[in-house]
Amino acid sequence: MMTVLTNLLDLDPAQLVAYCGDLGEKPFRAKQLQRWIHQFGARSFDEMTDLAKSLREKLATRAMIAAPAVMSDHTSTDGTRKWLVDVGQGNAVETVFIPEENRGTLCISTQAGCAVNCRFCSTGKQGFNRNLSVGEIIGQLWMAEFELRKTKGIAPGPKGERQITNVVMMGMGEPLLNFEPTVTALRLMLDDNAYGLSRRRVTLSTSGVVPMIDKLSQECPVALAVSLHASNDALRDSLIPLNKKHPLKELMAACKRYLEFAPRDFVTFEYCMLDGVNDTDAHARELIELVRDVPCKFNLIPFNPFPESGLKRSANPRIKAFAQILLDAGLVTTTRKTRGDDIDAACGQLAGEVQDRTRVQERMQKMAEYQKKFGENFGKIVEITQ
Ligand code: SAH
Ligand code: SF4
Q: Whose CA is nearest to atom 21 of ligand 1?
A: 348
d(CA 227, ligand 1 centre) in Å: 7
Task: Kindly state the average pLDDT of the residues 228-251.
Answer: 98
Q: Is residue 229 marked as binding? A: yes
Dump pLDDT digits (tens) for 89-132: 888 999 999 999 899 999 999 999 999 999 999 888 888 999 99
Structure confidence at residue 220 as a pLDDT band (50, 70, 90): very high
Q: Which atom of ligand 1 is nearest to the CA of 306?
A: 22
pTM value surpassing 0.85: yes
**Average confidence score pLDDT of the chain:** 88
Q: Is residue 121 marked as binding? A: yes
Instruction: Count Cβ atoms within 10 A of the Cβ of residue 137 and give its class: 0-12 exposed, 13-18 middle, 19 or more buried.
Output: buried
d(CA 78, ligand 2 centre) in Å: 25
DSSP string, 207-271: S--HHHHHHHHHH---EEEEE---SSHHHHHHH-GGGGTS-HHHHHHHHHHHHTT-SSSSEEEEE
pLDDT at 350: 46
Q: Which of 17-21, 120-124, 170-174 has the lowest mean pLDDT?
A: 120-124
Dump pLDDT digits (tens) for 63-76: 999 999 999 999 99
Task: Kindly state the average pLDDT of the residues 274-282.
Answer: 98
Q: Which atom of ligand 1 is nearest to the CA of 121?
A: 19
pLDDT at 118: 96
d(CA 226, ligand 1 centre) in Å: 10
**Cα–Cα distance between 108 and 96 in angstroms, integer?**
7
pLDDT at 130: 93
Is residue 121 within 6 Å of ligand 1 at its C-beta?
yes
Distance of alpha carbon 46 from the chain centroid: 32
By C-alpha distance, which of 88, 34, 43 is closest to 65?
43
pLDDT at 307: 83
Is residue 107 within 6 Å of ligand 2 at its C-beta?
no
d(CA 48, ligand 2 centre) in Å: 40
Helix (H) or strand (E) holding 321: helix 316-328
Side-chain half-sphere CA neighbours of 230 within 13 A: 23
By C-alpha distance, which of 217, 227, 212, 122 is closest to 168?
227
Residue type, 64: M
Q: Which atom of ligand 1 is nearest to the CA of 174?
A: 1
Q: Which residues are identified as catalytic? A: 94, 347
Could you tell me which residue, 189 or 347, shows the higher pLDDT? 189
Is residue 124 within 6 Å of ligand 2 at its C-beta?
yes
Could you tell me which residue, 369 or 294, shows the higher pLDDT? 294
The ligand placed nearest to the CA atom of residue 125 is 2
Structure confidence at residue 364 as a pLDDT band (50, 70, 90): low
